[in-house]
Amino acid sequence: MSRRYTREHEWISLERGGVAAIGITNYAQDQLGDVVFVELPAVGKKLAKGDEAAVVESVKAASEVYAPVAGEVVAVNDAIGGDPGVVNRSPEADGWFVKLKVANPADIDQLMDQSAYDAFVKTATS
Protein backbone atom coordinates (compact mmCIF):
# COMPACT_ATOMS: atom_id res chain seq x y z
CA MET A 1 0.00 0.00 0.00
CA SER A 2 1.17 3.49 -0.70
CA ARG A 3 1.84 6.04 1.96
CA ARG A 4 -1.01 8.27 3.18
CA TYR A 5 -0.91 11.70 4.85
CA THR A 6 -2.85 13.82 7.34
CA ARG A 7 -3.59 17.55 7.49
CA GLU A 8 -1.30 17.65 10.55
CA HIS A 9 1.61 16.48 8.33
CA GLU A 10 1.92 12.93 9.60
CA TRP A 11 2.47 10.03 7.23
CA ILE A 12 1.41 6.41 7.66
CA SER A 13 2.56 3.40 5.69
CA LEU A 14 0.87 0.02 6.11
CA GLU A 15 3.31 -2.85 6.39
CA ARG A 16 2.74 -6.58 6.78
CA GLY A 17 0.26 -8.01 9.23
CA GLY A 18 -1.81 -4.85 9.66
CA VAL A 19 1.10 -2.94 11.23
CA ALA A 20 1.75 0.62 10.07
CA ALA A 21 4.71 2.93 10.56
CA ILE A 22 3.93 6.56 11.45
CA GLY A 23 6.13 9.61 11.16
CA ILE A 24 6.14 13.25 10.15
CA THR A 25 6.60 14.57 6.66
CA ASN A 26 9.60 16.38 5.27
CA TYR A 27 7.47 19.55 5.24
CA ALA A 28 6.75 19.14 8.98
CA GLN A 29 10.37 18.60 9.96
CA ASP A 30 11.38 21.60 7.84
CA GLN A 31 8.83 23.78 9.66
CA LEU A 32 10.03 22.53 13.05
CA GLY A 33 13.72 23.13 12.47
CA ASP A 34 16.37 21.12 14.29
CA VAL A 35 14.73 18.37 16.35
CA VAL A 36 16.39 18.13 19.77
CA PHE A 37 14.12 15.73 21.69
CA VAL A 38 11.50 13.09 20.96
CA GLU A 39 9.08 11.60 23.49
CA LEU A 40 7.70 8.23 22.43
CA PRO A 41 4.76 6.28 23.90
CA ALA A 42 5.03 2.93 25.67
CA VAL A 43 4.68 -0.23 23.63
CA GLY A 44 1.20 -1.59 24.26
CA LYS A 45 -0.45 1.84 24.50
CA LYS A 46 -3.78 1.98 22.71
CA LEU A 47 -4.39 5.08 20.62
CA ALA A 48 -7.61 6.39 19.16
CA LYS A 49 -7.51 8.32 15.90
CA GLY A 50 -6.25 11.82 16.72
CA ASP A 51 -4.64 10.85 20.04
CA GLU A 52 -1.16 12.13 20.80
CA ALA A 53 1.26 9.43 19.63
CA ALA A 54 4.53 11.27 20.32
CA VAL A 55 5.99 14.68 21.11
CA VAL A 56 8.71 16.36 19.09
CA GLU A 57 10.73 19.24 20.48
CA SER A 58 12.80 21.42 18.20
CA VAL A 59 14.81 24.57 18.60
CA LYS A 60 11.63 26.45 17.56
CA ALA A 61 8.79 24.69 19.39
CA ALA A 62 7.28 21.53 20.81
CA SER A 63 4.74 19.76 18.65
CA GLU A 64 2.56 16.70 18.97
CA VAL A 65 2.49 13.81 16.54
CA TYR A 66 -1.05 12.47 16.29
CA ALA A 67 -2.23 8.95 15.47
CA PRO A 68 -3.73 9.06 11.96
CA VAL A 69 -5.78 5.94 12.77
CA ALA A 70 -6.66 3.91 15.86
CA GLY A 71 -4.41 1.08 16.97
CA GLU A 72 -2.00 -0.34 19.51
CA VAL A 73 1.65 0.68 19.67
CA VAL A 74 3.72 -2.42 18.86
CA ALA A 75 7.11 -0.71 18.37
CA VAL A 76 8.83 2.62 18.92
CA ASN A 77 11.89 3.94 17.12
CA ASP A 78 14.50 3.97 19.87
CA ALA A 79 17.07 5.29 17.37
CA ILE A 80 15.38 8.71 17.29
CA GLY A 81 15.30 8.82 21.07
CA GLY A 82 19.09 8.63 21.12
CA ASP A 83 19.60 10.74 17.99
CA PRO A 84 16.58 13.03 17.40
CA GLY A 85 18.33 14.56 14.37
CA VAL A 86 17.37 11.42 12.42
CA VAL A 87 13.91 13.01 12.18
CA ASN A 88 15.45 15.93 10.25
CA ARG A 89 17.79 13.82 8.13
CA SER A 90 15.32 11.08 7.18
CA PRO A 91 11.78 12.05 8.22
CA GLU A 92 10.00 9.72 5.83
CA ALA A 93 12.23 6.66 6.27
CA ASP A 94 14.56 6.12 9.25
CA GLY A 95 12.85 8.87 11.28
CA TRP A 96 9.58 7.01 11.90
CA PHE A 97 8.15 7.36 15.43
CA VAL A 98 5.89 4.40 16.16
CA LYS A 99 4.46 1.29 14.59
CA LEU A 100 0.80 0.60 15.26
CA LYS A 101 -1.20 -2.59 14.96
CA VAL A 102 -4.01 -0.83 13.08
CA ALA A 103 -7.53 -1.43 14.43
CA ASN A 104 -9.17 -0.95 11.01
CA PRO A 105 -6.79 -0.82 8.01
CA ALA A 106 -9.61 0.59 5.83
CA ASP A 107 -9.33 3.84 7.85
CA ILE A 108 -6.00 4.51 6.15
CA ASP A 109 -7.81 4.82 2.81
CA GLN A 110 -9.62 7.90 4.16
CA LEU A 111 -6.34 9.85 4.37
CA MET A 112 -4.70 11.89 1.60
CA ASP A 113 -2.57 10.21 -1.04
CA GLN A 114 0.70 11.77 -2.21
CA SER A 115 -0.83 14.03 -4.87
CA ALA A 116 -3.59 15.29 -2.53
CA TYR A 117 -1.01 15.96 0.20
CA ASP A 118 1.28 17.80 -2.21
CA ALA A 119 -1.64 20.01 -3.27
CA PHE A 120 -2.55 20.59 0.41
CA VAL A 121 1.01 21.70 1.25
CA LYS A 122 1.08 23.94 -1.81
CA THR A 123 -2.08 25.77 -0.68
CA ALA A 124 -0.71 26.01 2.87
CA THR A 125 2.48 27.68 1.66
CA SER A 126 1.03 30.02 -0.95
**Does CATH place domain 4-104+111-125 in 1.25.40.10?**
no
Q: What is the mean pLDDT of residues 63-80?
A: 97
What pLDDT was estimated at residue 126? 66
What pLDDT was estimated at residue 1? 55
For 110-123, the pLDDT digits (tens) are 999 999 999 999 99
pTM of the predicted model as reported, rounded to 2 decimal places: 0.94
Pair 92, 21: CB distance under 8 Å:
no
Pair 66, 10: CB distance under 8 Å:
yes
For 4-27, the pLDDT digits (tens) are 999 999 999 999 899 999 999 999
- For residue 39, count CB atoms less than 10 angstroms from its CB and return exposed for 0-12, middle for 13-18, buried for 19 or more: middle
What pLDDT was estimated at residue 125? 74
Q: What distance in Å separates the CA atoms of residue 52 and residue 116, rounded to the nearest whole number?
A: 24
Q: What is the mean pLDDT of residues 20-47?
A: 97
Q: What is the mean pLDDT of residues 29-44?
A: 96
Domain ranges of the chain: 4-104+111-125
Q: What distance in Å separates the CA atoms of residue 40 and residue 19, rounded to the nearest whole number?
A: 17
For 43-59, the pLDDT digits (tens) are 999 999 999 999 999 99
Please choose, from the candidates 104, 120, 114, the residue with its C-alpha nearest in 3D space to the C-alpha of residue 48. Answer: 104
- For residues 87-124, one letter each, b for 16 or more C-beta atoms within 10 angstroms of the residue's C-beta and e for the rest, the string is bbebbbeebbbbbbebeeeebbeebbeeeebeebbeee
For 72-100, the pLDDT digits (tens) are 999 999 999 999 999 999 999 999 999 99
